[in-house]
Homo-oligomer: A and B are copies of this chain.
Amino acid sequence: MTGEAFSLRTPNPTSGFELAIRLARLAVKTTQPDADIRKSLRADYDQNAGLLIEISHIVAVHFNTIAAANAYWLDPELAQ
């Protein structure tokens, strides 16, 4: 369905954060697969403080998951 393979392991917090942003978008993409509609919706949210803040909230939830999956990137042995 989603058609995008991914791993939860990332080399560092920055790339983990980028994955969190990608996952927040992936759910929208899967729920609304029409790229034209998504493009028009993007105009709704990318100048809307409330929606940008809500996206940041979703990123926080995914980042919580990803950070746990990487043991918070504390162990150099686990670094990819």
Contacts and interface: CB of A to CB of B under 8 A. Distances in A.
Interface string A35-77: 0010001101111111111111111111111011100111000
B2 A6 contact: no
A1 B7 CA distance: 18
B73 A7 contact: yes
Given A26-B17, A53-B55, A69-B74, A5 B1 contact: no
Contact of A49 (B1, B12, B26, B51): B51
Contacts of A72: 8-9, 68-69
10 contacts: A1-B18, A7-B73, A28-B52, A31-B46, A41-B48, A54-B57, A57-B57, A60-B62, A61-B64, A68-B72
